Protein backbone atom coordinates (compact mmCIF):
# COMPACT_ATOMS: atom_id res chain seq x y z
CA UNK A 1 0.00 0.00 0.00
CA UNK A 2 1.45 3.42 -0.91
CA UNK A 3 2.30 5.38 2.17
CA UNK A 4 1.28 8.93 2.83
CA UNK A 5 4.03 11.54 2.61
CA UNK A 6 3.99 11.88 6.39
CA UNK A 7 5.27 8.35 7.00
CA UNK A 8 7.00 7.65 3.68
CA UNK A 9 10.50 7.78 5.19
CA UNK A 10 9.75 5.56 8.20
CA UNK A 11 11.80 2.38 8.66
CA UNK A 12 11.68 -0.32 11.35
CA UNK A 13 15.35 0.18 12.15
CA UNK A 14 16.00 -1.86 15.27
CA UNK A 15 14.88 -3.95 18.22
CA UNK A 16 16.54 -3.49 21.61
CA UNK A 17 16.97 -6.17 24.26
CA UNK A 18 18.99 -6.04 27.48
CA UNK A 19 21.76 -8.60 27.98
CA UNK A 20 23.53 -9.72 31.13
CA UNK A 21 26.95 -10.56 29.69
CA UNK A 22 27.94 -8.87 26.44
CA UNK A 23 30.82 -11.24 25.76
CA UNK A 24 28.46 -14.21 25.75
CA UNK A 25 25.86 -12.35 23.68
CA UNK A 26 28.32 -11.01 21.11
CA UNK A 27 29.76 -14.49 20.66
CA UNK A 28 26.26 -15.87 20.09
CA UNK A 29 25.07 -13.18 17.67
CA UNK A 30 28.30 -12.91 15.67
CA UNK A 31 29.89 -16.36 15.71
CA UNK A 32 26.79 -18.52 15.88
CA UNK A 33 24.24 -16.38 14.00
CA UNK A 34 26.71 -14.56 11.75
CA UNK A 35 25.74 -10.95 12.47
CA UNK A 36 28.33 -8.18 12.31
CA UNK A 37 28.97 -5.85 15.23
CA UNK A 38 28.45 -2.55 13.38
CA UNK A 39 28.76 -0.08 16.27
CA UNK A 40 29.49 0.07 19.97
CA UNK A 41 28.62 3.09 22.14
CA UNK A 42 29.98 3.13 25.65
CA UNK A 43 28.37 5.38 28.25
CA UNK A 44 29.18 5.73 31.93
CA UNK A 45 26.88 3.01 33.22
CA UNK A 46 25.93 1.08 30.10
CA UNK A 47 27.15 0.12 26.65
CA UNK A 48 25.08 -0.29 23.48
CA UNK A 49 26.05 -2.84 20.84
CA UNK A 50 24.48 -2.68 17.37
CA UNK A 51 24.45 -5.82 15.23
CA UNK A 52 23.18 -6.59 11.76
CA UNK A 53 23.39 -9.15 9.01
CA UNK A 54 25.46 -8.00 6.04
CA UNK A 55 22.89 -7.19 3.34
CA UNK A 56 25.34 -6.21 0.62
CA UNK A 57 25.58 -2.54 1.58
CA UNK A 58 28.22 -2.02 4.28
CA UNK A 59 26.61 -1.01 7.57
CA UNK A 60 28.73 1.45 9.51
CA UNK A 61 28.38 3.42 12.75
CA UNK A 62 27.40 6.38 10.53
CA UNK A 63 24.70 4.79 8.36
CA UNK A 64 23.27 2.23 10.78
CA UNK A 65 20.00 4.14 11.18
CA UNK A 66 19.31 4.01 7.45
CA UNK A 67 18.40 0.33 7.17
CA UNK A 68 16.16 -2.26 8.79
CA UNK A 69 17.10 -5.41 10.69
CA UNK A 70 19.39 -3.99 13.36
CA UNK A 71 19.59 -5.65 16.78
CA UNK A 72 20.62 -3.39 19.68
CA UNK A 73 21.95 -5.03 22.83
CA UNK A 74 22.06 -2.96 26.02
CA UNK A 75 24.54 -3.98 28.68
CA UNK A 76 24.12 -2.36 32.06
CA UNK A 77 27.64 -2.52 33.43
CA UNK A 78 28.20 -5.01 36.23
CA UNK A 79 25.31 -7.41 35.62
CA UNK A 80 27.70 -10.00 34.20
CA UNK A 81 29.47 -10.38 37.56
CA UNK A 82 26.74 -9.43 40.06
CA UNK A 83 25.71 -12.49 42.11
CA UNK A 84 22.47 -10.70 43.03
CA UNK A 85 21.45 -10.09 39.43
CA UNK A 86 18.67 -12.55 38.68
CA UNK A 87 18.80 -12.16 34.90
CA UNK A 88 16.33 -10.66 32.47
CA UNK A 89 12.83 -11.86 31.67
CA UNK A 90 12.58 -13.34 28.19
CA UNK A 91 8.97 -12.20 27.86
CA UNK A 92 7.45 -15.64 27.43
CA UNK A 93 6.26 -16.39 30.95
CA UNK A 94 4.66 -14.54 33.83
CA UNK A 95 5.59 -12.19 35.30
CA UNK A 96 6.96 -10.31 32.36
CA UNK A 97 4.99 -11.86 29.55
CA UNK A 98 4.83 -9.55 26.53
CA UNK A 99 7.76 -9.65 24.15
CA UNK A 100 7.94 -12.93 22.31
CA UNK A 101 10.98 -13.48 20.13
CA UNK A 102 13.14 -12.36 17.29
CA UNK A 103 13.24 -14.49 14.14
CA UNK A 104 16.00 -15.38 11.75
CA UNK A 105 15.12 -16.71 8.32
CA UNK A 106 17.55 -19.05 6.60
CA UNK A 107 17.81 -20.88 3.29
CA UNK A 108 18.31 -24.35 4.75
CA UNK A 109 16.67 -24.74 8.15
CA UNK A 110 17.80 -28.36 8.59
CA UNK A 111 21.45 -27.46 8.00
CA UNK A 112 21.20 -24.36 10.19
CA UNK A 113 19.75 -26.34 13.09
CA UNK A 114 22.25 -29.17 12.68
CA UNK A 115 25.04 -26.59 12.93
CA UNK A 116 23.45 -24.99 16.02
CA UNK A 117 23.29 -28.41 17.69
CA UNK A 118 26.93 -29.05 16.85
CA UNK A 119 27.85 -25.68 18.37
CA UNK A 120 26.03 -26.53 21.61
CA UNK A 121 23.18 -24.04 21.20
CA UNK A 122 20.19 -24.63 23.47
CA UNK A 123 16.84 -25.30 21.83
CA UNK A 124 13.44 -24.23 23.07
CA UNK A 125 11.90 -26.24 20.23
CA UNK A 126 13.74 -28.50 17.83
CA UNK A 127 12.46 -28.98 14.29
CA UNK A 128 11.23 -32.42 15.28
CA UNK A 129 9.25 -31.18 18.32
CA UNK A 130 5.55 -30.43 17.96
CA UNK A 131 3.59 -30.02 14.79
CA UNK A 132 5.51 -27.30 13.00
CA UNK A 133 8.45 -29.24 11.61
CA UNK A 134 9.87 -26.31 9.65
CA UNK A 135 10.33 -24.03 12.67
CA UNK A 136 12.81 -24.20 15.53
CA UNK A 137 13.37 -21.93 18.49
CA UNK A 138 16.86 -21.56 19.91
CA UNK A 139 17.83 -19.66 23.06
CA UNK A 140 20.33 -16.84 23.24
CA UNK A 141 22.58 -16.54 26.32
CA UNK A 142 19.90 -14.60 28.25
CA UNK A 143 17.20 -17.07 27.33
CA UNK A 144 15.54 -14.89 24.70
CA UNK A 145 13.83 -16.99 22.08
CA UNK A 146 15.22 -16.84 18.54
CA UNK A 147 12.95 -18.42 15.95
CA UNK A 148 14.68 -20.08 13.00
CA UNK A 149 12.61 -20.75 9.89
CA UNK A 150 13.06 -21.02 6.14
CA UNK A 151 12.84 -17.78 4.18
CA UNK A 152 10.89 -19.72 1.56
CA UNK A 153 8.19 -20.73 4.05
CA UNK A 154 4.71 -20.06 2.64
CA UNK A 155 2.03 -20.56 5.27
CA UNK A 156 -1.65 -20.45 4.35
CA UNK B 1 32.51 -8.50 7.33
CA UNK B 2 32.00 -11.33 4.80
CA UNK B 3 29.91 -14.08 6.27
CA UNK B 4 30.77 -17.74 6.17
CA UNK B 5 28.73 -19.88 3.81
CA UNK B 6 26.93 -21.41 6.79
CA UNK B 7 25.20 -18.15 7.77
CA UNK B 8 25.26 -16.29 4.45
CA UNK B 9 21.51 -16.60 3.91
CA UNK B 10 20.48 -15.51 7.42
CA UNK B 11 18.21 -12.48 7.79
CA UNK B 12 16.76 -10.81 10.89
CA UNK B 13 13.24 -11.21 9.57
CA UNK B 14 10.96 -10.23 12.42
CA UNK B 15 10.29 -9.29 16.03
CA UNK B 16 7.22 -10.65 17.80
CA UNK B 17 5.30 -8.94 20.60
CA UNK B 18 1.97 -9.90 22.16
CA UNK B 19 -0.88 -7.41 22.01
CA UNK B 20 -4.06 -7.19 24.04
CA UNK B 21 -6.38 -5.64 21.45
CA UNK B 22 -5.50 -6.12 17.79
CA UNK B 23 -7.86 -3.41 16.59
CA UNK B 24 -6.05 -0.80 18.68
CA UNK B 25 -2.63 -2.14 17.69
CA UNK B 26 -3.39 -2.38 13.98
CA UNK B 27 -4.70 1.19 14.01
CA UNK B 28 -1.51 2.36 15.71
CA UNK B 29 0.95 0.49 13.48
CA UNK B 30 -0.84 1.15 10.19
CA UNK B 31 -2.54 4.54 10.53
CA UNK B 32 -0.12 6.25 12.88
CA UNK B 33 3.20 4.61 11.94
CA UNK B 34 2.34 3.82 8.32
CA UNK B 35 3.11 0.11 8.24
CA UNK B 36 1.20 -2.24 5.96
CA UNK B 37 -0.60 -5.32 7.26
CA UNK B 38 1.05 -7.88 4.99
CA UNK B 39 -0.41 -11.10 6.38
CA UNK B 40 -2.86 -12.37 8.96
CA UNK B 41 -2.92 -15.97 10.19
CA UNK B 42 -5.83 -17.02 12.35
CA UNK B 43 -5.52 -20.09 14.53
CA UNK B 44 -8.01 -21.53 17.01
CA UNK B 45 -6.89 -19.56 20.06
CA UNK B 46 -4.71 -16.83 18.61
CA UNK B 47 -4.14 -14.73 15.52
CA UNK B 48 -0.82 -13.53 14.10
CA UNK B 49 -0.57 -10.19 12.29
CA UNK B 50 2.50 -9.37 10.20
CA UNK B 51 3.31 -5.73 9.49
CA UNK B 52 6.07 -4.01 7.54
CA UNK B 53 7.01 -0.70 6.03
CA UNK B 54 6.78 -0.66 2.25
CA UNK B 55 10.40 -0.77 1.08
CA UNK B 56 9.74 -0.61 -2.64
CA UNK B 57 9.35 -4.36 -3.15
CA UNK B 58 5.79 -5.49 -2.44
CA UNK B 59 5.65 -7.64 0.70
CA UNK B 60 3.07 -10.39 0.43
CA UNK B 61 1.95 -13.30 2.59
CA UNK B 62 4.13 -15.47 0.35
CA UNK B 63 7.41 -13.53 0.44
CA UNK B 64 7.24 -12.01 3.90
CA UNK B 65 10.03 -14.23 5.24
CA UNK B 66 12.46 -12.98 2.60
CA UNK B 67 13.06 -9.48 3.97
CA UNK B 68 13.97 -7.75 7.22
CA UNK B 69 11.97 -5.30 9.30
CA UNK B 70 8.78 -7.30 9.88
CA UNK B 71 6.77 -6.82 13.07
CA UNK B 72 4.65 -9.77 14.21
CA UNK B 73 1.79 -9.12 16.62
CA UNK B 74 0.32 -12.08 18.49
CA UNK B 75 -3.24 -11.74 19.73
CA UNK B 76 -4.41 -14.38 22.18
CA UNK B 77 -8.16 -14.35 21.60
CA UNK B 78 -10.21 -12.82 24.36
CA UNK B 79 -7.63 -10.63 26.06
CA UNK B 80 -9.21 -7.53 24.56
CA UNK B 81 -12.43 -8.06 26.52
CA UNK B 82 -11.21 -9.99 29.58
CA UNK B 83 -11.61 -7.85 32.73
CA UNK B 84 -9.11 -10.09 34.53
CA UNK B 85 -6.38 -9.64 31.91
CA UNK B 86 -3.83 -7.29 33.46
CA UNK B 87 -2.05 -6.48 30.21
CA UNK B 88 1.42 -7.34 28.98
CA UNK B 89 4.75 -6.26 30.44
CA UNK B 90 6.55 -3.80 28.21
CA UNK B 91 9.93 -5.07 29.38
CA UNK B 92 11.17 -1.82 30.86
CA UNK B 93 10.39 -2.31 34.54
CA UNK B 94 10.52 -5.11 37.08
CA UNK B 95 9.19 -7.70 37.08
CA UNK B 96 9.60 -8.44 33.44
CA UNK B 97 12.59 -6.26 32.59
CA UNK B 98 14.40 -7.50 29.50
CA UNK B 99 13.02 -6.41 26.14
CA UNK B 100 13.50 -2.69 25.63
CA UNK B 101 11.89 -1.23 22.53
CA UNK B 102 11.52 -1.21 18.81
CA UNK B 103 12.80 1.82 16.89
CA UNK B 104 11.51 3.67 13.87
CA UNK B 105 13.86 5.94 11.95
CA UNK B 106 12.40 8.92 10.11
CA UNK B 107 13.65 11.72 7.88
CA UNK B 108 12.18 14.58 9.93
CA UNK B 109 11.89 13.71 13.60
CA UNK B 110 10.38 17.09 14.56
CA UNK B 111 7.60 16.75 11.99
CA UNK B 112 7.01 13.10 12.90
CA UNK B 113 6.65 13.92 16.61
CA UNK B 114 4.45 16.95 15.94
CA UNK B 115 2.14 14.67 13.95
CA UNK B 116 2.13 12.04 16.72
CA UNK B 117 1.14 14.72 19.23
CA UNK B 118 -1.65 15.92 16.96
CA UNK B 119 -2.90 12.33 16.67
CA UNK B 120 -2.99 11.95 20.46
CA UNK B 121 -0.11 9.46 20.73
CA UNK B 122 1.29 9.04 24.25
CA UNK B 123 4.94 9.91 24.77
CA UNK B 124 7.36 8.19 27.12
CA UNK B 125 9.93 10.88 26.22
CA UNK B 126 9.33 13.92 24.07
CA UNK B 127 12.14 15.38 22.00
CA UNK B 128 12.43 18.22 24.48
CA UNK B 129 12.74 15.91 27.54
CA UNK B 130 16.19 15.04 28.85
CA UNK B 131 19.51 15.48 27.11
CA UNK B 132 18.95 13.61 23.85
CA UNK B 133 16.92 16.15 21.89
CA UNK B 134 16.91 14.13 18.67
CA UNK B 135 15.22 11.06 20.16
CA UNK B 136 11.64 10.52 21.31
CA UNK B 137 9.90 7.47 22.70
CA UNK B 138 6.21 6.98 22.02
CA UNK B 139 3.98 4.26 23.47
CA UNK B 140 1.98 1.77 21.50
CA UNK B 141 -1.47 0.68 22.78
CA UNK B 142 0.07 -1.99 25.06
CA UNK B 143 2.64 0.42 26.44
CA UNK B 144 5.57 -0.97 24.43
CA UNK B 145 8.16 1.72 23.82
CA UNK B 146 8.72 2.82 20.22
CA UNK B 147 11.83 4.92 19.74
CA UNK B 148 11.63 7.59 17.04
CA UNK B 149 14.89 9.05 15.76
CA UNK B 150 16.33 10.53 12.57
CA UNK B 151 17.78 8.08 10.06
CA UNK B 152 20.58 10.59 9.52
CA UNK B 153 21.60 10.51 13.21
CA UNK B 154 25.36 10.03 13.59
CA UNK B 155 26.33 9.43 17.21
CA UNK B 156 29.98 9.36 18.26
Give the nearest chain B residue to A12 (CA atoms): B104
* Predicted interface score ipTM higher than 0.95: yes
Q: Which residues 93-112 of B are in CB contact (within 8 Å) with A? A: 95-108, 111-112
Domain boundary among the residues A80, A112, A128 is at A80
pLDDT > 90 in chain A, percent: 95
Number of domains in chain A: 2
Q: Decide if B61 is inside a domain.
A: yes
Q: Decide if A94 is inside a domain.
A: no
Show pLDDT as tens, one digit a residue, over chain B (156 residues).
Answer: 557 899 999 999 999 999 999 999 999 999 999 999 999 999 999 999 999 999 999 999 999 999 999 999 999 999 999 999 999 999 999 989 999 999 999 999 999 999 999 999 999 999 999 999 999 999 999 999 999 999 999 875
Q: Decide if B34 is inside a domain.
A: yes
Q: Decide if A89 is inside a domain.
A: no
- Residue B4: per-residue pLDDT: 87
Q: Which domain holds residue A117?
A: 102-150
Q: Decide if B97 is inside a domain.
A: no
Q: Decide if A49 is inside a domain.
A: yes
Q: Decide if A1 is inside a domain.
A: no
Query: A152: which chain B residues are within 8 Å (Cβ-Cβ)?
Result: 65-66
- Residue B65: per-residue pLDDT: 97
Asked whether residue B26 falls in the same domain as residue B70, the answer is yes
Q: What is the CATH number of the domain that holds A75?
A: 3.10.180.10
Partner residue facing B89 (CB), from A61, A98, A103: A98
Asked whether residue A32 falls in the same domain as residue A72, the answer is yes
Asked whether residue B35 falls in the same domain as residue B73, the answer is yes
Q: Decide if B6 is inside a domain.
A: no
Q: How many CB atoms lie within 10 A of CB A100?
A: 22
Asked whether residue A72 falls in the same domain as residue A115, the answer is no
HEC string of chain A?
CCCCHHHCCCEEEEEEEEECCHHHHHHHHHHHCCCEEEEEEECCCEEEEEEECCCCCCCCCCCHHHCCCEEEEEEECCHHHCCCCCCCCCCCCCCCCCEEEEEEEECCHHHHHHHHHHCCCCEEECCCCCCCCCCEEEECCCCCEEEEEECCCCCC
Q: What is the pTM of this model?
A: 0.97
- Residue A156: per-residue pLDDT: 56
**Catalytic residue at A44?**
no
Cβ B45 vs Cβ A130: under 8 Å: no
Amino acid sequence: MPRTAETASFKFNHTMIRVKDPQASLKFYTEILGMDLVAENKFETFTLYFLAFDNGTPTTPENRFQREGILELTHNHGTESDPNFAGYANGNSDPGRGFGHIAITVDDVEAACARFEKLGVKFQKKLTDGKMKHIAFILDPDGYWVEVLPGSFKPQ
